[in-house]
């Protein structure tokens, strides 16, 4: 067993037991309230630049199955848990969470009071942190936490976007095959899976792709993925949406939703501690139905900044009234803040949202 310590910019120091890789990582300490789906969360590119803490006290009890990964590996900088399970039980498990973090070269810390850290984050807001695996030098951890830059200043998208374009052809046979260009801002695999399962061919392009290249593909729809960091830093994607608005249907999820909103004239802002978990309530303002959704974001769209535009807020979070969905009055442009593709429990939003995507392309819902 290794000694480990986590230090926060406010001077908080917690010592625990290290697992995974030895070393030092820095990032925002964020918490998620989900109690399953740790494989999906750790491999979600939206967690780049962040140290991920689970509020649920036991993580790793059903092991690790690489088939559930949302990218090519762990993207969170580090892992914080109350207890990590060394002996998982599941017929699809190939290794435990200790081995996962070791294989991925990422540090983890267990045996600390995650409840106290969560309460502190909710009271004071998200804070910068440093996790040291192989040492219990708390003062050094605090120093490193305070020295790191604010996440809003970092270009995290370039860390997680694909390097070259690639196309995935759907194996589902349809009479009228559709084609989506998916702007990779830090894409979760399940987004492309939801499209492929509906008979849509998907071309994934890097976040630096210019408008002219998108036009050459002549897609039936442009889709903007989720991703990490401040949407203001996705300037190329914002410009592409501005250029193509009205010439083709455009849709997006999470960071993609924020990028689309900014392109349509809205502002975005940083939330105090974000929405991360599998039980966020979202109300559809037209139907009045409240859906339980999966979310992972630290920024939000300012709904008031749509005043005077042709954009309507279509869904809100019932916890804090933040914007969860938008739609343009005249153009085929719509997006959601949550993750309908996540399938953490209820699957209603997956069918509704991607059904709407198919309808926008004139395809089979």
DSSP letters spanning 299-365:
EEEEGGGGTTSSEEEEEEETTT--EEEEEESSSSEEEESS-TT--SS--HHHHHHHHHHHHHHT---
Which of 99, 127, 148 finishes a domain? 148
Same-domain pairing of 45 and 23:
yes
**Taking CA 261 as the corner, what is the angle to CA 259 and CA 265, rounded to the nearest 5 degrees?**
115
* Domain of residue 110, residue span: 2-148
Q: Is 258 annotated as a binding residue?
A: yes
Query: Given 179, 254, 324, 327, which residue is catalytic?
Result: 254
Q: Same domain for 136 and 173? A: no
Is residue 298 annotated as involved in ligand binding?
Answer: yes
Q: What's the average model confidence in pLDDT over 4-19?
A: 98
341 catalytic residue (yes or no): yes
Rounded distance between C-alpha atoms, residue 113 and residue 156, angstroms: 29
109 and 191 co-located in one domain: no
Is 59 in the same domain as 127? yes
- Record the tokens describing residue 112, joined without a space: 């600390």
Same domain, 47 and 177: no
My answer on whether 131 and 163 are in the same domain is no
User: CATH number for the domain including 202?
Assistant: 3.40.50.880
Domain boundary among 119, 148, 177: 148
d(CA 66, CA 109): 22
Asked if 303 contacts 257 with a C-beta cutoff of 8 angstroms, the reply is no
Among candidate residues 28, 21, 58, the one with its CA nearest the CA of residue 132: 21
Provide the CATH number for the domain around residue 109: 3.50.30.20
Confirm or deny that 345 is annotated as ligand binding. Answer: no
Q: What is the DSSP string of 137-176?
A: -HHHHHHHHHHSPPGGGS--HHHHS-SS-EEE--SS--SS
Candidates 188, 179, 181; CA nearest to 206 is 181
Confidence band (pLDDT; 50, 70, 90) for 307? very high
pLDDT value at residue 77: 98
Q: In terms of DSSP bridges, do strands 250-253 and 178-184 run parallel, antiparallel, or are they unpaired?
A: unpaired
Say if residue 43 is exposed, middle or buried (CB neighbours under 10 Å; 0-12, 13-18, 19+): buried
Catalytic residue among 9, 28, 324, 341: 341
Average pLDDT over residues 332-360: 93
Checking if the pLDDT of 364 tops 60, the result is no
Q: Is the pLDDT of residue 269 over 60?
A: yes
227 is in an annotated binding site: yes
Pair (114, 183) in one structural domain: no
Q: Which of 257, 291, 297, 339 is catalytic?
A: 339
pLDDT recorded at residue 199? 96
Is residue 39 annotated as part of the catalytic site, yes or no? no
- Is 229 flagged in the annotation as binding? yes
Q: Is the domain of 340 the same as that of 201?
A: yes
Residue 1's pLDDT is 78
Where a domain ends, among 121, 148, 175? 148
Report the domain count for the chain: 2
Are 64 and 190 members of one domain?
A: no
Token output for 46: 């939206």
The encoded tokens of residue 78 equal 């580090």
Is the pLDDT score of 363 beyond 70?
no
Considering the domain architecture, whether residues 235 and 100 belong to the same structural domain is answered as: no
pTM: 0.96
Q: Is 85 a catalytic residue?
A: no
Tens of pLDDT, residues 217-268: 999 999 999 999 999 999 999 999 999 999 999 999 999 999 999 999 999 9
341 and 324 in a common domain:
yes
Decide: helix, strand or coil at residue 123. Answer: helix
- Burial category of 144 from C-beta neighbours within 10 Å (exposed 0-12, middle 13-18, buried 19 and up): buried
The answer on 91 and 220 residing in a single domain is no
């Amino acid at each position: 067993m290794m000694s480990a310590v986590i230090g926060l910019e406010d001077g908080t120091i917690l010592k625990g037991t290290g697992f995974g890789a030895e070393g030092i990582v820095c990032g925002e300490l964020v918490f998620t309230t989900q109690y399953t789906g740790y494989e999906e969360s750790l491999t979600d590119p939206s967690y780049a630049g962040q140290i991920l803490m689970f509020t649920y006290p036991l993580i790793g009890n059903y092991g690790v199955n690489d088939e559930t990964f949302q990218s090519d590996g762990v993207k969170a900088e580090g892992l914080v848990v109350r207890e990590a399970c060394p002996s998982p039980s599941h017929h699809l498990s190939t290794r435990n969470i200790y081995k996962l973090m070791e294989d991925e070269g990422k540090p983890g810390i267990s045996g600390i009071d995650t409840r106290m850290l969560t309460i502190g984050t909710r009271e004071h807001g998200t804070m910068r942190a440093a996790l040291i695996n192989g040492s219990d030098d708390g003062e050094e951890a605090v120093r490193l936490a305070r020295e790191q830059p604010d996440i809003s200043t970092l270009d995290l998208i370039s860390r997680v976007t694909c390097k070259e374009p690639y196309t995935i052809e759907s194996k589902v046979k349809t009479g009228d095959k559709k084609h989506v260009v998916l702007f990779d801002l830090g894409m979760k695999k399940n987004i492309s899976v939801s499209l492929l399962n509906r008979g849509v061919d998907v071309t994934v392009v890097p976040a630096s792709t210019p408008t002219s290249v998108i036009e050459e593909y002549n897609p039936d729809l442009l889709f903007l993925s989720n991703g990490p960091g401040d949407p203001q830093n996705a300037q190329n994607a914002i410009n592409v949406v501005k250029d193509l608005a009205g010439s083709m249907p455009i849709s997006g999820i999470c960071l993609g939703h924020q990028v689309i909103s900014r392109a349509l004239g809205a502002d975005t802002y940083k939330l105090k501690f974000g929405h991360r978990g599998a039980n966020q309530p979202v109300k559809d303002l037209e139907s009045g139905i409240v859906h339980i959704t999966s979310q992972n974001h630290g920024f939000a769209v300012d709904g008031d900044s749509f005043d005077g535009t042709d954009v309507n807020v279509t869904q809100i979070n019932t916890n804090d009234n933040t914007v969860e969905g938008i739609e343009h009055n005249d153009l085929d442009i719509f997006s959601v803040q949550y993750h309908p593709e996540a399938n953490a429990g209820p699957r209603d939003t997956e069918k509704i949202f991607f059904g709407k995507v198919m309808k926008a392309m004139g395809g089979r819902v």
